[in-house]
Amino acid sequence: MNSIAYKLSGFENSDISFGRVILPWSKADANWGFGKLNNRVNFDGFSPGQEGLTGVRYVYRVNKYFKVEAFGSYTYIPELNPGQKIDEENGTVSCNNPWCDSPDESTEISGTQVPIFYNVNMPEISEVLFKPSFGLRFKAGSEKVNVSGFFTRKPENSISLSVEVAYENDNQRVFADITPEVYYHNVFGGDLNYKINKNLSLYGTAIAIRPDRNPDTNGQVFEYLGIRPNKIDEEYAGGGVQFNDGRLVTSLNYIARLSDFEKVDDPLIQYPRWNQAVHFNIGSKLTRKIGLALDYKYDMLTEDRLTMFNASYLLTPSIITSLGFEMIGTAKSADSYWAKFANNDRLYGSLKYTF
């Protein structure tokens, strides 16, 4: 998805963009859908896409071998998808999207299923909206070989939740008091690119995330007695090879989680999207009208597998039809990010008209 941004021209060695801008600073974040740097579109978990951040991006080309970039914002807009429906009267939180992970409707107490009533303490818009962020990036080298590095200090792209739980004996239910909170994190990393020839290139990429352990608040921080998100440091590194001659586009990619992850009994735990994974994709225009595409990801640690296939046919210069499928595979007893979405396989067809 393209960013909704406006670009100012007339500057000889610099560019300024403002609005919803995508920061093309990390191949790891973009290729593997981590959503640590840029917000994701998140309508589709298979290909979450990038939506960018709201702010101003400034690019200054010092010379043909070196450029610097800066990003700044005083407006925070978190990822809005997939959304949840909150029924304040009945105390329920439900999903209207298959990629949304809704909380349990009940829990077992002494062998009996007891309903859970959710009370969400929605913050004032101003408490969320006005959160500053900034970032810097450098890129050095030629078109053939270059290296880049970046650092950002910004709110996490998703709002976190803290929960206080109490059993109401008179109502025979569990009362869950939920408070949305904004956490800041530092995100930094870099890419190395090497162009072998006009069609073939290699790259290496790394990204690290250092989240704050406490939420951003203007008030006094008190000792918390409920359930708070367990924020952990994350580090990833990988690389790949890419080929594109205009007719055939293919790549082989790899990512590895370098940081530790301990599976603990935590209701708010967020499993890593990928741990030690390979990614192969290929797309080809067999003829002027027929195109095929295959995309496959496999996590060697959790045995999670994503398979996407698409075949398209150009009916007219303005009309294209396609047929495809998307499948998720997980280990039977896996505790992983993809396990909860194991039933989201789909077969689809589409008809598109281009004006």
Q: pLDDT by residue (tens digit) across 222-265?
A: 444 567 788 899 999 999 999 999 899 999 999 999 999 877 66
Q: 144-169 b/e with 16+ CB inside 10 Å = b?
A: eebebbbbbbbbbbbbbbbbbeeeee
- What pLDDT sits at residue 226? 64
Question: Look-up: residue for tokens 């077992």?
Answer: 108
How many Cβ atoms sit within 10 Å of the Cβ of residue 281? 17
- What pLDDT sits at residue 264? 67
Give the C-alpha separation, 325 to 48, whole Å.
Answer: 16
- What pLDDT sits at residue 307? 97
Count Cα neighbours of 245 within 13 Å in the Cβ-side half-sphere: 5
Give the C-alpha separation, 24 to 111, whole Å.
Answer: 52
- What pLDDT sits at residue 83? 83
Task: Please confirm whether the linkage preceding 82 is cis (ω < 30° from 0).
Answer: yes
Whether the predicted pLDDT of 168 surpasses 90: no
Whether the predicted pLDDT of 334 surpasses 80: no
Residue 221 binned pLDDT confidence (cut-offs 50, 70, 90): very low
Residue-averaged pLDDT of the chain: 90
Q: CA nearest 35: which of 75, 86, 79?
A: 79
- What pLDDT sits at residue 7? 64
- What pLDDT sits at residue 145? 97
Give the C-alpha separation, 181 to 291, whole Å.
Answer: 45
- What pLDDT sits at residue 220? 44
Mean pLDDT of 262-287: 86
Name the percent of the chain lying above pLDDT 70. 92
Who contacts 52 (Cβ-Cβ below 8 Å, separation ≥6)?
3, 5, 20, 21, 22, 23, 38, 39
Mean pLDDT of 107-118: 87
- What pLDDT sits at residue 218? 55
Lowest mean pLDDT among 97-106, 158-167, 260-269, 280-289: 260-269
What pLDDT, in 10s, does the model give residues 23-65?
Answer: 999 999 999 999 999 999 988 899 999 999 999 999 999 999 9
Mean pLDDT of 149-157: 97
Lowest mean pLDDT among 29-38, 100-109, 235-244, 342-351: 100-109
Mean pLDDT of 299-325: 94
- What pLDDT sits at residue 10? 57
Mean pLDDT of 100-116: 85
Mean pLDDT of 292-313: 96
- What pLDDT sits at residue 5? 61
Letter for the amino acid at 158? S
Whether the predicted pLDDT of 219 surpasses 60: no
